[in-house]
């Protein structure tokens, strides 16, 4: 989902980040509020005032989304779920979980926390709106508060639609999971509803576009595609977990390893190994021990000095960053690959001997066959 993101700050121990795509949303919201929404309700103000209101409204939306996602994260942490942080992107925001909820109860409370937080915030802001009007507060300020209050209520209602991966879809999945005792079936049903809802939004977007509402039509189409794809991917991720959990990584490792002699010059290593096999990491045999060399170590040596250095000088010892245990669970290894961005790990036994190599490609081949057989 995310490309390059910018880390902003930490809140309650969670990293808050902004995906670069979010700036598109920020500009569009600021522009639409300043040029259309606020001038419609309050006429006769200066252009600068409308833009200040628009930017303030967009920043308020930013804060509202963070508040919504923070509520998810706090409840998730209460149930022991590890959270990577909160990232805002072009379609809103997401609390990034590294694992699925451990139980239907955990998912229910985690999912419902977001909409309840938005409703609570919306009611507070609408209450401030009423107070501001009765006390004759600054009209532009009251207008922005009213907009944010209404928007939080609308977002909560939209999120409660029982279409996965919306919060309502997760609530539905938790209920089905609780009564059916089958996470796969619960996910399939809620994901199918989510896919259908995505198609509905796409159709609504096409109709809006054809009838002249070009901007809103495009947004409904994009949101529809996003929800449909997210629903399908969520179901696939549950299947992946079920297929891999309990499987030892030994089942996926390749014992026909390409090991680099420690005395190999760096230039020969690049030419004969990196360019030939196209791997980013290779095991290095050195004094009856196994170490590791990657492209990152090669980058530390100036190109003109490659012929005067050996891979043994640059190789790093095995660690959890480049090696896994032969007894590790396959799902745990896949999670580590996703977290670190590495697709190739050495497999070591209980005596720290190298016994194989496991790659993301080999695991994906297994999953592809498994899913094909279970269709």
**The three-state (H, E, C) secondary structure of 179-232, written as one string:** HHCCHHHHHHHHHHHHHHHHHHHHHHHHHHHHCCCHHHHHHHHHHHHHHHHHHH
Instruction: Determine which of 53-57, 211-215, 367-371 has the lowest per-residue pLDDT on average.
Output: 367-371
Collapse the DSSP code of 253 into the 3-class scheme (helix H, G, I; strand E, B; otherwise coil) and give the result: coil
Q: Can you give the pLDDT at residue 2?
A: 47
**DSSP symbol at 329:** B
- Write the CB contacts of 35 (distance below 8 Å, at least 6 apart in sequence): 50, 54
Is 124's pLDDT higher than 90? yes
Q: Residues 249-255: what's their mean pLDDT?
A: 80
Distance between terminal CA atoms of the chain? Answer: 26
Is 367's pLDDT higher than 80? no
Gap between the Cα atoms of 238 and 103, Å rounded:
13
Q: Domain-by-domain residue ranges, the chain?
A: 5-244, 249-373
- Give the model confidence (pLDDT) of 286-310 as tens digits: 665 677 888 888 888 898 889 888 8
**Taking the model in full, what pTM does it have?**
0.69
Comparison of pLDDT for 191 and 241, the residue scoring more: 191
Q: Can you give the pLDDT at residue 343?
A: 76
Which range scores top for mean pLDDT: 113-127, 280-294, 313-327?
113-127
Q: Residues 126-154: what's their mean pLDDT?
A: 92
- Computed over every residue of the chain, the mean pLDDT equals 83
Q: Can you give the pLDDT at residue 329?
A: 82
Is 22's pLDDT higher than 50? yes
Gap between the Cα atoms of 18 and 27, Å rounded:
14
Contact 262, 315 (CB under 8 A): yes
* Cis-peptide into 118, omega within 30 deg: no
Burial of 266 (0-12, 13-18, 19+ CB in 10 A): buried
Alpha helices in the chain (DSSP H): 22-32, 38-41, 47-78, 104-134, 139-159, 167-180, 183-210, 214-244, 266-269, 275-277, 295-298, 311-314, 330-340, 360-373
Structural Rg of the chain based on CA atoms: 26
Contact 297, 314 (CB under 8 A): yes
Superfamily of domain 249-373: CBS-domain (3.10.580.10)
DSSP 152-165: HHHHHHHHTSS-TT
Enter the tokens of residue 193. Answer: 């509803």
């Amino acid at each position: 989902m995310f490309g390059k993101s910018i880390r902003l700050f930490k809140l309650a121990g969670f990293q808050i980040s902004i995906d670069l795509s979010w700036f598109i949303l920020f500009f569009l919201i600021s522009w639409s509020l300043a040029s259309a929404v606020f001038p419609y309700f309050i006429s006769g103000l200066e252009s600068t005032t409308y833009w200040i209101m628009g930017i303030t409204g967009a920043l308020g939306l930013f804060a509202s989304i963070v508040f919504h996602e923070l509520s998810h994260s706090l409840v998730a942490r209460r149930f022991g779920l590890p959270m990577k942080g909160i990232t805002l992107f072009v379609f809103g925001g997401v609390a990034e979980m590294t694992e699925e909820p451990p139980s239907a109860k955990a998912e229910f409370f985690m999912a419902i926390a977001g909409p309840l937080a938005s409703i609570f915030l919306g009611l507070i802001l609408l209450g401030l709106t009423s107070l501001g009007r009765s006390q004759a507060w600054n009209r532009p300020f009251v207008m922005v508060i009213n907009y944010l209050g209404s928007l939080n209520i609308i977002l909560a209602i939209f999120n409660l639609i029982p279409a996965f991966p919306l919060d309502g879809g997760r609530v539905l999945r938790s209920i089905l999971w609780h009564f059916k005792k089958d996470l796969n079936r619960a996910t399939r049903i809620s994901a199918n509803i989510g896919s259908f809802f995505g198609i509905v939004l796409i159709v609504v977007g096409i109709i809006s576009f054809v009838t002249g509402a070009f901007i809103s039509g495009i947004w409904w189409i994009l949101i529809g595609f996003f929800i449909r794809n997210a629903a399908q991917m969520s179901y696939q991720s549950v299947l992946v977990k079920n297929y891999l959990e309990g499987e030892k990584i030994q089942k996926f490792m390749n014992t026909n390893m390409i090991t680099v002699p420690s005395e190999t010059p760096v230039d020969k290593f690049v030419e004969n190994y990196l360019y030939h096999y196209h791997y980013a990491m290779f095991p290095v045999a050195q004094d009856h021990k196994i170490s590791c060399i990657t492209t990152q170590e090669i980058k530390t040596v100036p190109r003109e000095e490659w012929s005067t250095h050996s891979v043994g000088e640059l190789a790093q010892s095995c660690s959890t960053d480049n090696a896994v245990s032969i007894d590790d669970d396959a799902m745990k290894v896949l999670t580590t690959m996703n977290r670190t961005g590495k697709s190739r790990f050495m497999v070591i036994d209980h005596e720290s001997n190298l016994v194989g190599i496991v790659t993301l490609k080999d695991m994906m081949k297994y999953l592809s066959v498994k899913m094909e057989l279970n269709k």
